[in-house]
């Protein structure tokens, strides 16, 4: 060994020193670093798990949102469709009512026209009769002579006498 230039004592001392350094480093540096690395690993794992959980939550939220949007759209369509149906029904009802009212107004109008026509006709007849009678009166007054009137009177008195007997 000496021929190789190696001092056994020194070698032993160096081995001892190295062992001491290994033990010291292992105790004071290696374990804390491992613990720190382990802690960091756990934190990263937790972070990843949390991220995954959040992603999943986000997915669920998106799904719920989509579902709600779909339901809202469907409900909206249903409401619009229902409103359209209701509007059509109301439109028909309004049309029927309007036709009935128009028909009623027409009937009333016709009845009123007929009533007015009848009243006018009656008035016209009455006026015509009145006019004819007035004309007859005037003609009789102007045309009948005194002799005519005495003749008529005599005839009437004769009738009364014959009936009074």
Partner 1 sequence: MNALSKDARGFVDSVVSYLEDEKKQGAAVRLHSLLSRVTSQAKREKNARVETSVALSVQEKTRIERLLISLLGHAVEVEYSVDSAVIAGVTIKVADWIVDTSFRGQLVKMQEYLNG
Binding stretches for partner 1 (CB under 8 A): 125-126, 129-130, 133, 136-137, 139-144, 146, 148-150, 152-157, 159-161, 163-165
At its nearest, how many Å lie between partner 1 and the CB of residue 103?
Answer: 34
Which one, of 157, 140, 139, lies nearest residue 148 by Cα?
A: 140
If the CB atoms of residues 9 and 147 are measured against partner 1, the closer one turns out to be: 147
At its nearest, how many Å lie between partner 1 and the CB of residue 158?
Answer: 9
Residue with token string 């060994």:
1
If the CB atoms of residues 17 and 128 are measured against partner 1, the closer one turns out to be: 128
CB-CB contact of 8 with 1 (8 Å): yes
Structure-derived torsion over alpha carbons of residues 37, 42, 43, 48, reported in degrees to the nearest 10? 130
If the CB atoms of residues 6 and 157 are measured against partner 1, the closer one turns out to be: 157
At its nearest, how many Å lie between partner 1 and the CB of residue 122?
Answer: 8
If the CB atoms of residues 27 and 137 are measured against partner 1, the closer one turns out to be: 137
At its nearest, how many Å lie between partner 1 and the CB of residue 110?
Answer: 24
At its nearest, how many Å lie between partner 1 and the CB of residue 87?
Answer: 57
If the CB atoms of residues 62 and 155 are measured against partner 1, the closer one turns out to be: 155
Determine the Cα–Cα distance for residues 95 and 112; give it in Å rounded to an integer: 25
**What does each C-alpha distance from 127 to 104, 121, 132 come to in angstroms?**
33, 10, 8
Q: What are the residues whose beta carbons fall under 8 Å from the beta carbon of 1, sequence distance 6 or more? A: 7, 8
Residue 160 token pair: 């009364």
Task: Report DSSP letters for 23-35, one per residue.
Answer: HHHIIIIIHHHHH
């Amino acid at each position: 060994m000496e021929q190789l230039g190696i001092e056994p004592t020194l070698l032993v001392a160096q081995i001892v020193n190295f062992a001491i350094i290994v033990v010291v480093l292992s105790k004071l540096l290696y374990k804390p670093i491992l613990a720190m690395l382990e802690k960091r690993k756990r934190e990263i794992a937790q972070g990843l798990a949390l991220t995954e959980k959040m992603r999943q939550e986000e997915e669920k939220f998106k799904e719920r949102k989509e579902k709600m949007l779909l339901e809202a759209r469907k409900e909206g369509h249903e409401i619009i469709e229902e409103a359209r149906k209701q509007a059509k029904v109301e439109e028909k009802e309004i049309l029927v009512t309007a036709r009935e009212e128009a028909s009623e107004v027409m009937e009333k109008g016709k009845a009123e026209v007929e009533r007015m026509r009848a009243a006018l006709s009656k008035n016209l007849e009455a006026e015509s009769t009145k006019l004819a009678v007035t004309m007859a009166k005037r003609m009789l007054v102007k045309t009948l002579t005194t002799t005519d009137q005495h003749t008529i009177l005599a005839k009437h008195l004769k009738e009364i006498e014959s009936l009074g007997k």
